[in-house]
Amino acid sequence: MGSTMKNKNQFIQLAKILVGVVLSLLALYVFIPIIFSVIWIERQEFLGLKYGMSPQEVLDVLTRAGGREVLPRLEREITITKKNIDTIEQLRDASGICITSYKESISLQVRFDRDGSVTKTHESFRKFTELSEIKSKEDLLAKLRLMIERLDGLEVYTCIPEVRWVVVNEATEEADKQYLAQYGVWMFDEPDSYSKARLVFVGGRLSKVEYQWHLYEPL
């Protein structure tokens, strides 16, 4: 009888331990994503940046703030596949178009001038022979529609060809400044921090400053 009671108590203790472990794991599952989640906070002023500034004024502020590596981003990303091919005309205003095929591991980038003519391509046309003679965006969109209909796994999306970071300081070249000014969204990392800042321009003026805040960092 005493042995049975002892075994019962041991079983209860073991069950309590198991329940505690399960609850701890559940708590980790729930709270770890929250702790490491990222929140974008809009700031009215940041590093001396103020709404209404021109791209050049923003570059001047970033230079005075000790310089930053700035990466241009697209204001809106559009992806066209066989499922939404009827919306391919949305790519008409894109300054760059990327084409990939996950079935053949091919990627291709096409960049356009303001008049729509092709200025540069990247990667190989060998498996995209239909595109080897493209001269304009009109040409490209017409041929892409046929390719998307014919080839499974083909994706066409807006992109920034040869996207690159630009170091903003006193030595920044004019060509780099003009490169950044083409795009309506800039991002840069905050020194000594895991956070980023995102700047949004509308009509050539700074209209939004967002700060990427982690819950484990002080504001």
| Dihedral sign (CA 78, 83, 86, 88) | positive
- Are 27 and 45 part of one and the same domain? no
Question: Do both 135 and 27 map to the same domain?
Answer: no
Q: Can you say whether the dihedral through the CA atoms of 35, 38, 40, 45 is positive or negative?
A: positive
The verdict on 63 and 31 lying in the same domain is: no
Asked whether residue 79 is domain-assigned, the answer is no
| Shared domain check, 132 and 103 | yes
Q: 33-78 pLDDT, tens per residue?
A: 444 456 767 777 778 888 999 999 999 998 888 778 899 998 888 8
What residues does 187 pair with on adjacent strands? 71, 198
Residue 205 has pLDDT above 90, yes or no: yes
Any domain includes 126: yes
- Confirm whether 219 is domain-assigned: no
Residues 6+ apart with CB under 8 A from 16: none
End-to-end CA distance of the chain: 62
Total domains present in the chain: 3
Residues 178 and 197 in one domain: yes
Domain co-membership, 135 together with 111: yes
Please check whether residues 148 and 111 belong to one and the same domain: yes
Q: Which neighbouring-strand residues pair with 46?
A: 49
In a domain, 80, yes or no: no
Query: Both 172 and 198 in a single domain?
Result: yes
State pLDDT tens for residues 101-152: 877 666 778 877 766 667 666 665 656 777 777 778 888 888 889 888 888 8
Residue 46 within a domain: yes
Whether the per-residue pLDDT at 216 is higher than 60: the answer is no
User: How confident is residue 169, by pLDDT bands cut at 50, 70 and 90?
Assistant: confident
Question: How is 57-96 classified by DSSP, letter by letter?
Answer: HHHHHHHHTT-EEEEEE-SS--EE-GGGGGGGGGGGG-SE
Confidence class of residue 206 from pLDDT cuts 50, 70 and 90?
A: very high
Domain boundaries, position 144: 85-158
SS3 state at 35 = helix
Distance of CA 54 to the CA centre of its chain: 23
DSSP 115: T
